[in-house]
RNA sequence: GGGGAGGUUGCAGAGCGGUCAAAUGCAACAGACUGUAAAUCUGUCGGCCAUGCGCCUUCGGAGGUUCGAAUCCUCCCCUCCCCA
């Protein structure tokens, strides 16, 4: 048996079922449902954390269910207090609309909108929330929420204990999210909401609302939070969050992020973030045990995820670049090849006039490219042996570089630490 | 309205007239080891010039006392706690 025969079983062996409502498993086995997951529109791009729900929608669709991605253009204006310790910065309508467009295209990478029987949909809850009338809302929906219940919510309780408290705005979030569920139930017969484990309270509240107002049975399923064995926040690197937008996180860095996955996490991530089946993952798990240094599981993970998000071309280029960067001598490479390899890597153009006679000091180079925040820091880095030019360690913190040091007189490859690269192009 | 505690370098948290760019922990960055992993160990961790034990800007804000203040005084702003 290489694949669970029912979605619920499939999700379960992948470790994606953190909690679910009674009877969901049977419902999913019996009928095709419409389900939804909400995505946060507070940025113009999703990051790797959102990959888990994205993949979840795709998995559901593969089993014949109809996925809806709801982008919270309405609720995004409010801000979900779940998992937040501080009040959110409110976004303007324009910002949110701009963000929606970006997110939409990213979701489109894993969802099939043209499937005949169960097409995926993306909806914006602003369509109904923005035109909501306060009095009607309070009478029809608000009546079904007791403040007692809302106060008991974990996310609210935590904020109540805090000095800053919680605003009425964010306090209302629960009702709005529940209202979304109700609207989707009405419009698309949507009977299942999924999300991260922090959404459990919001989701069950929605189920209750559907039951009270429509006498319908709605379900919820939440997935675990993605953790790292090392205890750091998932999806962060030295350079910050790992985004799905290639302009924010280059495919090369994206690929590298996955490739650098901890041995202890890699099997979990294969289950979470790829479509690989049980047999394949088990084989990789064995590989991690017997030959961890080969990093086969990490490589497979990086390939699979990068292919889904950026396409096979990006995978090929990232692997090619990785091979060159971590393998051969850079200075032996062809300039055009280097420029191609470093296509993804941040770069800075500097006028040729600077590179004549005495040249540019390494510290100035590091500051100009923002590899170091200050000259003092740059000096320290070099002194500590953490700076490389053209893959050669810079030994002297007062070293200067001229066009003669550049590859073909045009390119200096700066590197900080093991793998943070920056390309300096000398303008001709 | 009354009483009390406090705001310190990313966070937490010492310092309470000079030896304070400010202990310690965490985070972060670099190095060693290694498998582009983890753990561990080492170093760094305001800025500038340069390499002197130099200069500049920092300890909620504005003034003041002093040869000298994060440390004392005055006023202001903000937070928390207790009482009403």
- Secondary structure (DSSP) of A368-403: HTTSSSSHHHHHHHHHTT-EEETTEE---TT-EE-G
A364 CB and strand B closer than 7 A: no
User: What gap in Å lies between CA A283 and CA A267, rounded to an integer?
Assistant: 10
Of chain A, the percentage scoring pLDDT greater than 70 comes to 88
Q: What is the pLDDT of residue A250?
A: 84
Minimum-distance residue to B28 (CA–C1') = A238
pLDDT tier at A2, thresholds 50, 70, 90 = very low
Give CA separation, A282 vs A110, A160, A390, A399, in Å: 24, 45, 40, 51
> What value does the mean pLDDT take over residues A289-296?
92
- CATH topology for A333-427 is 3.10.290
Place of tokens 């390939």: A303
**Three-state DSSP state, A311:** coil
Q: CATH homologous superfamily of domain A7-223?
A: HUPs (3.40.50.620)
- Backbone φ and ψ for A276, nearest 5 degrees, come out as -55, 145
In the three-class reduction of DSSP (H, G, I as helix; E, B as strand; rest coil), residue A216 is classed as coil
Question: Which three-class secondary structure state does DSSP give residue A20?
Answer: strand
How far, in Å, is the CA of A25 from the C1' of nucleotide B57? 64
A15 touches strand B (CB under 7 A): no
Which class does domain A236-326 fall in?
Answer: mainly alpha
What integer pLDDT is reported at residue A81 of this predicted model? 58
Q: Is the CB of A420 under 7 A from strand B?
A: yes
- How many CA atoms lie less than 13 Å away from A324 in the CB half-sphere? 21
**Which pLDDT score is estimated for A173?**
84
Confirm whether any atom of chain B, the nucleic acid strand, is less than 7 Å from CB of A322. Answer: yes
Listed by start position, the domains of chain A span 7-223, 236-326, 333-427
Q: Do domains A7-223 and A236-326 have the same CATH topology?
A: no
Residue A213 has pLDDT above 90, yes or no: yes
d(CA A290, CA A282): 13
- The contacts of residue A304 (CB under 8 Å, 6+ apart) are A270, A273, A274, A275, A276
pLDDT confidence of residue A80: 62
A140, A144, A172, A181 from A189: Cα distances, Å: 20, 21, 25, 10
Q: Which of A11-25, A149-163, A289-303 has the lowest mean pLDDT?
A: A149-163
CA of A244 vs C1' of B61, distance in Å? 43
Does residue A110 carry a pLDDT above 50? yes
Asked if A281 contacts A270 with a C-beta cutoff of 8 angstroms, the reply is: yes
Taking the C-alpha atoms of A162, A167, A168 and A169 in order, what is their torsion angle to the nearest 10 degrees? -130
Note the pLDDT of residue A180: 93
At residue A3, the pLDDT reads 47
Residue A215 has pLDDT above 50, yes or no: yes
Residue pLDDT, tens place only, A40-52: 777 778 888 889 9
Q: pLDDT-based confidence at A100, cuts 50/70/90?
A: confident
> CA-to-C1' distance for A84 and B32, Å?
39
């Amino acid at each position: 048996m290489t694949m669970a025969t029912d979605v619920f079983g499939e999700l379960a062996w992948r470790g994606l079922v953190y909690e679910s409502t009674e009877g969901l498993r049977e419902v999913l086995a019996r009928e095709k449902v419409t389900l939804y997951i909400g995505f946060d529109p507070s940025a113009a791009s999703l990051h790797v954390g959102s990959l888990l729900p994205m993949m979840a929608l795709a998995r559901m669709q593969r089993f014949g269910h109809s996925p809806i991605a709801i982008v919270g253009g309405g609720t995004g204006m409010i801000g979900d207090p779940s998992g937040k310790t501080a009040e959110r910065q409110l976004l303007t309508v324009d910002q949110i609309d701009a963000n929606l467009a970006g997110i939409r295209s990213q979701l489109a990478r894993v969802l099939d909108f043209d499937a005949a029987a169960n097409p995926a949909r993306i909806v914006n809850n602003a369509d109904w929330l923005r035109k909501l009338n306060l009095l009607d809302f309070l009478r029809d929906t608000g009546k079904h929420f007791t403040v007692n219940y809302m106060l008991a919510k974990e996310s609210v309780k935590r904020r109540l204990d805090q000095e800053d408290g919680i605003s009425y705005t964010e306090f209302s979030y629960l009702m709005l999210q529940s209202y979304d569920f109700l609207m989707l139930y009405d419009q698309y017969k949507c009977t299942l909401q999924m999300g991260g484990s922090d959404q459990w309270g919001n989701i069950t509240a929605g189920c209750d609302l559907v039951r009270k107002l429509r006498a319908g049975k709605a379900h919820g399923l939440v997935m675990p939070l993605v953790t790292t064995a090392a205890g750091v926040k998932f999806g962060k690197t030295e350079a910050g969050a790992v985004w799905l937008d290639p302009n924010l996180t280059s495919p090369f860095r994206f690929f590298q992020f996955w490739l650098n996955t901890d041995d202890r996490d890699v099997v979990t991530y294969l289950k979470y973030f790829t479509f690989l089946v049980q047999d394949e993952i088990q084989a990789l798990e064995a590989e991690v045990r017997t030959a961890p240094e080969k990093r086969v599981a990490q490589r497979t993970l990086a390939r699979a995820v990068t292919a889904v998000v950026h396409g096979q071309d990006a995978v090929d280029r990232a692997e090619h670049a990785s091979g060159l960067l971590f393998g051969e001598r850079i200075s032996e490479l062809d300039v055009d090849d280097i420029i191609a390899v470093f296509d993804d890597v941040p770069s800075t153009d500097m006028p040729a006039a600077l590179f004549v006679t005495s040249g540019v000091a390494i510290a100035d180079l590091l500051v100009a490219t923002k590899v170091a925040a200050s000259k003092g820091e740059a000096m320290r880095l070099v002194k500590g042996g953490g700076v490389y030019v053209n893959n050669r360690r810079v030994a002297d913190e007062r070293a200067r570089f001229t066009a003669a040091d550049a590859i073909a007189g045009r390119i200096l490859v700066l590197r900080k630490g093991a793998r943070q690269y920056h390309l300096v192009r000398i303008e001709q």
